[in-house]
Amino acid sequence: MRNLFYLLLMLMILILCGGCTEEETIPAKPKPSPAPKPQSVTTPPANNPAKINQPTQYVLADENFSNLQLNVIDKPVYDKYGVWDRHDAGLPMSLPKIEPYHEKNVAYLTFDDGPDDKITPQILDVLKAEGIKATFFVCGNMVEKNPEVLKRIFNEGHAIGNHSYNHVYKELYKSPWDFVAQFMKTDDIIMEHIGVRPLIIRAPGGVAGVFDEDYWDMIDACGYVEFDWNLSTEDATPSKPNATAQVLNVIKQITTLSPRTAIILMHSKAGKEETVKALPELIRMLREWGYDFGVITPMTPQL
C-alpha cells in the first residue's frame, strides 16, 4: 500500500512537471564579463540604423588591442569595451606600441565641439559629396542633444573622437582624474547610441600648458590616445575669418610647415557657416597638393 502511495506521488510530480524541461530547471549561467555584448553585425535591428554597415566601416579593437596596426587610413577604430569594462574583465587597458602611418602625405580634417543639428549635417553633406572621411571630436553634452547626428557621423564612416563632456576648462583641468572622468562619462553617452567607444581623444584647447606627466599617465591607463593639431583654419579665433581667409590660413601654414601629416582643426557647431563654405575649396586645394584623406586612429602619427 505504501509503495502504491509513493508510486502515485511520483506520478503526480511527473504530471505537474510535465512542461518542465531540463534546461529550465538549471539556473542560467552568470555572464562571464560585465562588458557589453558584441553587436550583431549581420542582422541589425530595424529600429537602430546605427548598426548598419558595421562590419565594413570600422575596425573593432580586439580584447588585447592586437589588431590596430592597420593597412588603411580611412577606417575608424572603436572599442566595444568601456574603460571600466576592461578593468573589471581583467583585459589590457593601455594600447600596445603601434607603428605610425608614414607612407603617404595625409590630411586629417577634424571638427570639434559638435555634434550640433545644423552645421554638422552640412559638413557631412560636403564630405559625402567629396567622397572623403573626416574625424569629429564630439562633446558628451552635445551628443545628448543631437544623438541622431552622432549616428549619422558613425553610419557614414567618419571617425568619432571624444572631446570631454562639457568643454569647461576649469573643471577639466582641475586634476587628471577630473579630466578622464569627463571622458569616461562621454564614452558612456556615445556607447549608448552607437554601441562602441572611441579610443582617440582631443583635450579641449589642446594639451599645451595643461598636460603634465600625470595627465599623460592617466589617459594612457584608460587606453586613450590624444591628438592635437598642426594646422587650423582658425575658425574659432576672435578675427572670425570668412571662408576665403580660412583657406588662405591653411595654405600659409602648409607653405611654412610642409607637413606629411596635416591634422587640420575646424569646428562643427553653431556659427561656423564659413567653415562649411570653406570646405570644398580646402579639400580641392589639399588634393592638388597631393594629400590623401584619412581618419584619426591610434595609428595616426603623433605631431
Active site residues: 112, 267
Minimum CB distance to Zn ion, residue 81 (Å): 26
Handedness of CA 69, 72, 76, 79 (dihedral sign): negative
What binding mask, one character per residue, do residues 59-98 give for Zn ion by CB under 5 A, x or -?
----------------------------------------
Amino acid making up residue 277:
K
* Contacts to Zn ion from residues 178-207, by CB under 5 A: 204
91 or 236: whose CB is closer to Zn ion? 236
84 or 229: whose CB is closer to Zn ion? 229
Distance of CA 148 to the CA centre of its chain: 15
Minimum CB distance to Zn ion, residue 113 (Å): 5
Grid cell 557589453 in the structure block, residue:
36
Greatest pairwise CA separation for the chain in angstroms: 105
Number of H helices, E strands in the chain: 12, 11
Minimum CB distance to Zn ion, residue 140 (Å): 12
136 or 291: whose CB is closer to Zn ion? 136
78 or 111: whose CB is closer to Zn ion? 111
- C-alpha cell recorded at residue 53: 554597415
- Closest listed residue to residue 219, CA positions, set 147, 164, 287: 164
Q: Out of 74, 85, 113, 226, which residue is the one contacting Zn ion (CB under 5 A)? A: 113
The crossing angle, in degrees rounded to 10, of helices 213-221 and 176-194 is 30
Beta bridge partners of 107: 262, 293
Residue nearest to Zn ion (CB): 112
Amino acid making up residue 150:
L
112 contributes a contact to Zn ion by CB under 5 A: yes
Minimum CB distance to Zn ion, residue 165 (Å): 12
Minimum CB distance to Zn ion, residue 207 (Å): 12
- Closest listed residue to residue 231, CA positions, set 105, 131, 144: 105
* Contacts to Zn ion from residues 201-240, by CB under 5 A: 204
Q: Rounded to whole angstroms, what are the CA distances from 13 to 5, 18, 20, 25, 208?
A: 12, 8, 11, 14, 75
58 or 111: whose CB is closer to Zn ion? 111
**How many positions of this chain bind Zn ion (CB under 5 A)?**
3
Residues 73, 79, 84: CA angle, nearest 5 degrees: 150
Task: List residues near Zn ion by CB under 5 A.
Answer: 112-113, 204
